[in-house]
Homo-oligomer: A and B are copies of this chain.
C-alpha cells in the first residue's frame, strides 16, 4: 500500500449559471501544473455544481408558507430558508433543538434538505442541492473523459450532520466512475477469519478527506485525490442510501 494524497484546487474563480465546471477545473489544474492521470479521483463540493446548474435562489423571491413561518418562529431560523428546505424535502424526519432534519427528494437525510447560505453571495441567496446529483457527477465524469481520454471518478459532496455524534463531516451525494464501497465481505483477514459485515463506504471517506484538505474558507471547491485504489465500475451515491425497510432510525 502506498501513499494517499489530497491536493486542494483553488483559483477556479466564481462559478455562474451555465459555466463549464470541467473547463474551470482543467484551468485550475493547469495553473497548479497538475495533469490528471489514471487512478486520480476528483471530489467536488456541490456548491459549485449547484451554481453552474442555476440552483441558487435569491431569498427575496421566496414567499414562506404558514408551515415554514411556524417552524422558523420557534427555532430562530429564516422562514424563507425553512420554506426552501420544506419544498426540497420528501418528508420531515425530525424537528427539534433548532434543527430541521429532512429527507431530500434524492433520499438523503440531512439538515434543511441541504439548503444553505454559505459560500453563495453573502447571505442574500440560498444554494439548493443539484436536482439529480448522481446525474451531475455522471455529466462531469463524461465531460472529463471526452476532454482527456481517461476515466476519472467524480464525487459531489455536501456537509452533513450525523446521528449520535457531534459535528459535521463531508458526505457523497453524487458519484460516477467508481463503486462507492470497498466490499470485504467473504474475504479472509490475515488470521484466516472470514469477514461478513465489512462493507466500507469509501465514497464517504473520500468526501471526508476532501473536506479535511479543502476547508470551507479557502475557495477550494475541488480536491484531487491520488493514490487510492478505487474499484472502477458503475456506481451511484444513491447506492449509499440505506433501504427504507432496513433503516432502524427513520
A-to-B contact residues, CB < 8 Å: 1, 3-8, 10, 94, 96-97, 99, 101, 108-109, 111, 117-123, 159, 162-171, 180-182, 184, 187, 189-195, 197-202, 204-206, 208-209, 211-220, 228, 239-243, 246-250
Question: Contacts A163-B163, A166-B241, A212-B209 hold; do A122 and B193 have CB atoms under 8 A apart?
Answer: yes
Q: From A112, which residue of chain B is reached at the shortest CB distance?
A: B197
B190, A217: Cβ atoms under 8 Å?
yes
B216, A167: Cβ atoms under 8 Å?
no
Number of copies: 2
A1, B228: Cβ atoms under 8 Å?
no
Nearest chain B CB to A170 CB, angstrom units: 7
Residues of B within 8 A of A198 (CB): 118, 159, 168, 216
B202, A212: Cβ atoms under 8 Å?
yes
A189, B119: Cβ atoms under 8 Å?
yes
Question: Contacts A94-B249, A187-B217, A191-B121 hold; do A166 and B211 have CB atoms under 8 A apart?
Answer: no
B1, A218: Cβ atoms under 8 Å?
yes
Residues of B within 8 A of A171 (CB): 165
A220 to B247, CA, bound (A): 32
A194 to B110, CA, bound (A): 21
A136 to B9, CA, bound (A): 37
**Residue in contact with A205 in the complex, picked from B119, B193, B209, CB distance below 8 Å:** B209
Name, among A167, A182, A194, A240, the residue most crowded by chain B CB atoms within 10 Å (CB to CB).
A167
Nearest chain B CB to A225 CB, angstrom units: 9
5 cross-chain pairs, A with B, having the tightest CB-CB distances, nearest first: A167-B201, A163-B249, A208-B208, A205-B208, A163-B163
Question: Contacts A120-B193, A216-B195 hold; do A209 and B169 have CB atoms under 8 A apart?
Answer: no
A166, B202: Cβ atoms under 8 Å?
no
Q: From A123, which residue of chain B is reached at the shortest CB distance?
A: B193
Q: From A117, which residue of chain B is reached at the shortest CB distance?
A: B193
Question: Contacts A5-B4, A163-B249 hold; do A168 and B212 have CB atoms under 8 A apart?
Answer: no
Nearest chain B CB to A29 CB, angstrom units: 14
A171 to B204, CA, bound (A): 12
Q: From A1, which residue of chain B is reached at the shortest CB distance?
A: B8
**Residue in contact with A190 in the complex, picked from B97, B99, B187, B219, CB distance below 8 Å:** B219
